[in-house]
Structure formats: C-alpha cells, structure tokens
Amino acid sequence: MTGEFDLIRRYFWDASSLRDDVVTGIGDDCAVLAPPLGMELVVSTDTLVEGVHFPEGTHPSDVGYKALAVNLSDLAAMGADPAWFLLNLTLPRADAEWLSGFSKGLLQLARDYHIALVGGDTTRGPLSVTITVHGFVPQGGAIRRRGARPGDVVYVTGFLGQAILGLKCWRREIDLPEEFLPGALDRFLRPAPRLDEARVLRGLASAAIDLSDGLAADLGHLLEASEVGARVWLERLPVSPAYDSVFGSMGWDPVLAGGDDYELCFTLPPEQRRAFHGRFVDFSCGFAEIGEIEAEPGLRLIGAGGSPYALACPGYDHFAGS
C-alpha cells in the first residue's frame, strides 16, 4: 500500500510510548512487552466493519474511538486493567485525512485509559478495523460469565437502549426533542467503556458480561454459562430521560434488545451488596438492581402488574437467518 509506512509512522508511532512496559513498540517485526509479575494476561479481539458496525459516513474519529471502546468494554467485563493493543486496518485507500481523524479518536481514548498501541497490520480492501487488546488481572481475579448463583442480585450500569436511540436519530427514524439529540448520538458513536467501575467489581461480583447485543441476549449468555436463570423486572430497567421522552413509540424492546450500549451487567452475592454500594457511589454512570438469579434456567421478564413479558426479538445476531 503506497505510503503505508509513512502514514503509520505519522499517525500511530507516538502511541507506543504511552507506557513504559513497552520495551519495543511499533516498527520492528514484533512488539516486546514486559508483563508485570504475578498478573494474568487477559486478551480479546473485535472487528468493526463499515456498513455493519458503523454507518457509512461515520466521522473517522468516531470510528477510531468506537473500535477501541468496544474492545476496552470486553476488558471491563472481565475486571481487567488495559495495557496494550494491536490495530489491524483494512483501508480502501491510504487516505491521510481519514487516518488523521481516525488516529485522533483512537488515541484520545488510548490516553484516557492508559493503553499503548504496540503494533498491527495494514492492508487494502473494504474498510474494516480489528483491534486486539491485552490487559491484566491479579491471579485468579478475572470476573467471568460463569459464577452467578441463585439468590445473587442482577445489576446493570448506566442506561439501557441509549445506542439504539442514537442510531434511530442518526437514521432520522424518530424525532427526539432537540435537547437530547447530541447526547443520544454520542452514546451511539462513543460508548464509554466501564473500566473504572469494573475494577471496583473485581473481588465483589460473582459474574459479569458487557452489553454488546442487548440485555436479554447478553444476560442470557451469562445465565447459560452459570447454569442458572433469572427474573428481571422491566420497571427497574434504567432508561434515560431522552429515552423516556419517546418511550411511547419505542416501548421496552429496544431497552432489552438494542445492541451497542456497552454497559456492564453483573451479579453480586447479597452479602457483597453493601460493600458494592459503598464503593460504587462515586461513579457518575450509576447502576440499577434489575433482578435476581434463580436456579431454574431461562430469563423471565416481569412486566406491569407482575405479568410475564415476551420480547419480540431477543438480540442482534450477525448470522441470524444466513
């Protein structure tokens, strides 16, 4: 690819120096990294494809931000501290303006969460971005999907249904009051990885998952992995004032099945509740107790007046129907 190296040097090189545990960063055949003693390495990768994970015409800085944010969200779901990442870029052309914007969004988030870009690969093709993140947990400290027990309380951070609200605004499918519009678009384009919150959950939560495909689907994965079920009360689901303003036309389904929120869903044994509430009050994202783990498998949604609620479509699946 013409100019590939110059562009990488220009826009990404500095990002290696964000941490001093990078012995050799971008520029050699491999990165050389110095993992801390006594920690376990936590690794994950995620791809964003134009037209699938972000609409054509998305500003490159938002693409850069989101590509890293969704990966950081996976580290958060495990209770891991971020350290390093790799960037695999497939670009239709070496476009300096696009790369400049992309690197701005990406590196802003990298600085905020102290994660260094240590290498990657660049190829030509339809626009797609793959990031691989590396983080650490103390030995045995990772929060996994399996671990929820009957009697545990089910929580979520932040508001649900925010990203789908933003997407519907972007597509002009709904009319949101002016005051809510920038916030809704921002939640869709720039999800906030809940890393600081996740660090608090380490040692307290019995299980956790991040919400990429919607609460119903992702909590479903947690329940399956833990071999338990849960009861969730709809009126306890946290929705934003923005969502509230169009609730009449949206209803509960986007709250339960809208993807891309990247909030955390986690479970706590009842005896950890006080410690958790005490330590979590500082976080501005807030949290809600939405349900309870039960021995009987399956997710039971409880609607108005205690009646069971049936969801029309359980969550986003890229391969559904194919």
Site residues (vs ligand ADP, CB under 6 A): 8, 12, 26-29, 87, 89, 117, 119-122
Q: What is the DSSP string of 160-176?
A: SSHHHHHHHHHTT-S--
User: In the β-sheet with 116-124, what is the strand arrangement from edge to edge?
Assistant: 39-49, 128-138, 81-91, 116-124
Q: Which is closer to Mg ion, CB of 121 or CB of 227?
A: 121
Kindly write out the interface string for residues 176-195 of this chain, putting x where it contacts Mg ion by CB under 5 A and - elsewhere: --------------------
Residue 258 site contact among ligand ADP, Mg ion, none (CB < 5 to 8 Å, cut-off depends on kind): none
User: Distance (Å, rounded) from C-alpha 60 to C-alpha 105?
Assistant: 8
Q: Which is closer to Mg ion, CB of 121 or CB of 296?
A: 121
Residue 120 site contact among ligand ADP, Mg ion, none (CB < 5 to 8 Å, cut-off depends on kind): ligand ADP
Q: Which is closer to Mg ion, CB of 26 or CB of 115?
A: 26
Contact yes or no for 265/215 (Cβ under 8 A):
yes
User: Distance (Å, rounded) from C-alpha 184 to C-alpha 162?
Assistant: 6
Q: Which single residue brings its beta carbon nearest to ligand ADP? A: 119
Q: How far is the CB of 318 from ligand ADP (least distance, A)?
A: 24
Q: Which is closer to ligand ADP, CB of 130 or CB of 226?
A: 130
The helix/strand/coil state of 23 is strand
User: Distance (Å, rounded) from C-alpha 186 to C-alpha 168?
Assistant: 12
Residue 127 site contact among Mg ion, ligand ADP, none (CB < 5 to 8 Å, cut-off depends on kind): none
Q: How far is the CB of 18 from ligand ADP (least distance, A)?
A: 13
Q: How far is the CB of 29 from ligand ADP (least distance, A)?
A: 5
Residue 27 site contact among Mg ion, ligand ADP, none (CB < 5 to 8 Å, cut-off depends on kind): ligand ADP
Cβ-Cβ contacts under 8 Å for 51 (sequence gap 6 or more): none
Q: How far is the CB of 121 from Mg ion (least distance, A)?
A: 4
Q: Give 32: exposed, middle or buried? Use CB within 10 Å, 0-12, 13-18, 19+.
A: exposed
Determine, following the binding rule CB under 5 A, whether residue 121 of this chain makes contact with Mg ion. Answer: yes
Q: Which is closer to ligand ADP, CB of 16 or CB of 157?
A: 16
Q: Convert 133-166 to b/e letters by CB count within 10 Å (16 or more is b).
A: bbbbbeeeebbbbebbeeebbbbbbbbbbbbbbb
Nearest residue to 115 (alpha-carbon basis) of 143, 81, 139 = 81
Residue 122 site contact among ligand ADP, Mg ion, none (CB < 5 to 8 Å, cut-off depends on kind): ligand ADP
User: Distance (Å, rounded) from C-alpha 71 to C-alpha 201?
Assistant: 18
Q: Which is closer to ligand ADP, CB of 89 or CB of 207?
A: 89
Contact residues for Mg ion (CB under 5 A)?
A: 121
